[in-house]
Structures are given as structure tokens and as C-alpha cells.
A and B are shown apart, each in its own frame.
Chain A
Amino acid sequence: MSQTFFFKKRVRSLVIFCVVALICFASSVMTQFDLSQGIAAIPKAIVWGFSSFYPTADSFVYLSEIWVKMQETLLVSIAAAATAAIFAFVFAVFGSRITKVNGFIAMLSRAFANLSRNIDVSVWSIVLLLTFGQTPITGFFALFIASFGFLTRAFMETIDESGTDPVEALKATGAGYVPTIFQAVVPSSISQIMSWILFMIETNIRAATLVGILTGSGIGYIFDLYYKRMDYHTASLVVIVIVISILLIEQISNYIRRAML
């Protein structure tokens, strides 16, 4: 009997593997994608990168200009994540299984969060561009909406996970709804919530480049500008500034995470 059990398991794994392989093969045929060609192109890309995509002394003239835009992008990313977090917390409390007021409001807030999360930040950028035009505000709103959706979902799971037991205990003491939120839900989930906000800030800075290209603001815009001017040296300097900023922010948020534990 145990023989057939293991045999069945092995057959199942084999079938799953074959199906995945088939999907890969079929989709590359349909899109005329050739893996070998793709791999063969890598050395050429590296050669190009080293021969022209590096900053020269001339491009450093633009450094202060780039830095101004980078600052703008960093601030917009942080502001979007922080503002989104406030709204997301309220929605998460209403949507969480353990702190919901009633089923209907919970469903509504979940649906709202899903809508803003499942539409990508790039789509939001283009949609908002039509309303607000080429300003940093457009970038802010695009990042805000995407962050809001993601954070609501993350907070909801955090509350469900870490708040269930204390919420039950406080309800049993006769505590009201609002005190239960502030005395049980907030303290038991705050460190996780802060961690998610820091993660969101990092994600936003990465996404801000793309959002900037699409909405014509921030660091993404300036990269796009130099790139299209075929000033690859300055464009590469922009990339270096972005990478350094992201590494810096990561270091800072790691430090905050450690300090909070």
C-alpha cells in the first residue's frame, strides 16, 4: 500500500514538472522568444555598458541637479508611504477578521484595498497624469494609492496574526471597541507595522524611477531626459545616485528595525 502512495506522489511531481515545462515552451514559441539568443546577447550588453555607460568628469557637472531631483523623489516616496500607512491602518482595522465592525464594512474596505493594490503603480501613474499633469503630485498620488492597497493588506494580516489573543482578552474584560484597538491591537502589531512601512518606503523609491519616467517628475524624469539625449554618461551617474540612495535608505531602515525589537 505504501508503495503505491510513494509511486502516486512521484507521478504527481512528474506531471506538474511536465506541465510547467510545456507552458514555458509553448509561450516562448508563441512570443518567438529565443532563450539562447537572449543569453548570447549578455556579453554584448556588458561590453556596451563598460564602453559607454559610465560617468565621465563632464557628467559630474550635473550632480547637484540630479541630487535635487533625487531628494524630491526620496521625500515623495516617504510621504506617500507615511500618508498611505495612516489610511491603511484604519482600513485594515475595519477589514480585519478580528476587529471588523460588521461584515459589510469589512468587505467594502477589503474590496477598496484590493482595487488599489491590483492595479499596478505604472497604470495609476498614467491614469493620474491625465488628471494632474506633469507634476510631483501625480507621482505622489500614484505611489500613495499603490502603497495604500499593499499596506492595507499587510496590516490586515499583521492584526489577524498578532492581535487575535489580546483582543479576545480585552473584550472579555468589558473594554470597548476603541480602547481595545489602542490598548491591544496597536501595541501588539506596531513593530510589524513599522517594518512594513519601512519596506514600503524602499519599494516606493525603487518604483519612483519608473513613475518619474511616466509622469515626468523626479529622478525618473531626469534619467529619461539624459538617456533620450543619448548622454549615457550622465544617465549612468543618475543610476549610480539611485543605487547609493537605495542602499543608504536600506541601511537606515535596517537600523530602525533592529532598534525597535
Chain B
Amino acid sequence: MTTLLEMKNVSKKYGNGTVALSDVSFSVNEGEFVSVIGPSGAGKSTLLRCINQMIQATDGEIIFDDVNVMGFKGRALRQMRTKMGMIFQNYNLVERLSVIENVLHGRLGYKSMLAGSLGLFTDDEKRQAYRLLEKLGLKEQIYRRCDQLSGGQKQRVGIARALIQNPKLMLCDEPIASLDPSSSKTIMDHLKDISDSLKITVLINLHQVDVAMNYADRIIGVSKGSIVFNGVPSELTNDNIKAIYGSDAEKLMINVEDQGRMKAAEK
């Protein structure tokens, strides 16, 4: 299996001395579904945003697709970002525009300044957007304005916008944190499907340990800006949970060992 992304000793320090990430190293294989878990403020979001350099890391190397992309600027940075789709907790859609217009925004990274500003998209791109929306079950909503959609539908628009980029990597920043259980399941199933059938690597921040254990091929536990666990879900023990969240698993209403055993038995 080939490595798609490798983080080598990545750190992020802010001017006021706050350390958001310290010496983070891990690698992700092509087609892998990796979940990052950890308490709020542990640096999960910062970690994700350092990869597509929405936040500039201060130290280390980020090897993406065999190239060290650390410190990329201008055109090179934008080209790199087209290969990474991103979805967000708040969906980050332009609410006043229609579903299909929001999806086509995913093509802006490939456009010239003029074509992008005027929103000139080719018929191929429009057909592709239509196909993606059809696949995600939004065929009825295609011309609807995004502020009329439910949370789950908005997140599917977000996924379509990321997929139309033809990305190699999907960065998902707590995509189900604002969704009800049934919409959450739909979104997680779609992401799993993307990773399985399109072989797109998925790196996802999650609050729900049980969801992470159910879906992920591998779990990375982050605490106070450092990686404290990196392994397959069945290896996750209650001690690991304590190291990640700083309190006992029972208090958090999580029992990973039972869940791990159940999942291992299923296989």
C-alpha cells in the first residue's frame, strides 16, 4: 500500500506562546479511512487545517503525494488544495445560492480568475455535479436554495462540492457534530462509500468514539496537541481513552473494550 500523506514532526505554535500542535508525526495510506479523536481544544481542527494549510504549521514536513508541500504559496498551494476536499461542521455553504451552484464551487480551483469570478462552468462540469447530487440523493433539491435544506442535506452538498474537485484526500472536520443520529449515519455511510469505492483517503475528526470505532480503519487519538494513540480500533483500550480524554472511560459513558470485542467477533 502506498503512503498518500505523511506528517513529520509537525508543530504549530502561536505568537503568544500557545502550542496547538507539538511534534505530530503519522502517515496515512491511499484509500484508508482514518479517524482523529480527542477532546475539544486538543488540536484536531488545527491538525486537519495544517494539512491543506488553511493554518500554516510552524515546523515539520508535510509530504502529500510524494511532495513536501510545507510552505507552498500562491498557485502551487492552490493546486495542492484542489487535490484535498474539505467538509465542515457548519457545512460552509453559500446559503443564498442553489445546491448546484454550491457544488460547482468545487471546480473553482481549476479555473482562471475571470472564469471563476463570473462562474463560467462547462457542460461537463455541470453534468458531473448533477451525477454527484443524484448519487448523494439530492436530485430533487438541485435548484433549491441551500438555506431551505436540512442539516443532513447541506452536509451532502458539502460532500458533493468536495468530490467534484476529484480529490485524493478528504478532510472532514467534525462533519456530523451538528446532525441528528439518522442524518449522521447517512453522512458516515456516504463517506465510507467514498473511501471504499472511489479509493479516496478520508481523514475525519470525530467527537463520537463509537462512530469512530465503527467506521474507521485506524484511529488517531490526540490530546493537548500530541498524538497519544495510533492504531486499529480493536486495539483501543480503556487506558487509551483515559490518555486521550483525561478521565475514565466509564465516566465518559464509553466502553471501548466491549465494543472492540464485538467488532472483532463480527469479522
Contacts and interface: CB of A to CB of B under 8 A. Distances in A.
Interface of A: 165-166, 168-176, 178-184, 187-188, 190-191
Most buried by A among B90, B92, B171: B92
Interface string B55-95: 00000000000000000000001111110111010111111
Interface in B106-123: 106, 108-111, 113, 116-119
B19 to A, nearest CB: 23
B78 A166 contact: no
Interface residues of B, number: 36
A190 B82 contact: no
B251 to A, nearest CB: 27
B265 interface: no
Contacts of B90: 165
Given A176-B113, A179-B117, A183-B119, A170 B108 contact: yes
A178 B78 CA distance: 13
A179 B82 contact: no
B88 A183 contact: no
B54 A165 contact: no
B165 interface: yes
A245 to B, nearest CB: 32
A92 B130 CA distance: 35
B263 interface: no
A220 B119 CA distance: 46
A175 B108 contact: yes
Contact of A176 (B96, B106, B116): B116
Nearest to B80: A174
Given A169-B93, A179-B108, A179-B116, 16 more contacts: A170-B108, A171-B81, A172-B52, A172-B86, A173-B82, A173-B105, A173-B106, A174-B79, A174-B109, A175-B109, A176-B78, A178-B113, A181-B117, A184-B94, A187-B97, A188-B95
Given A182-B117, A183-B105, A172 B93 contact: no
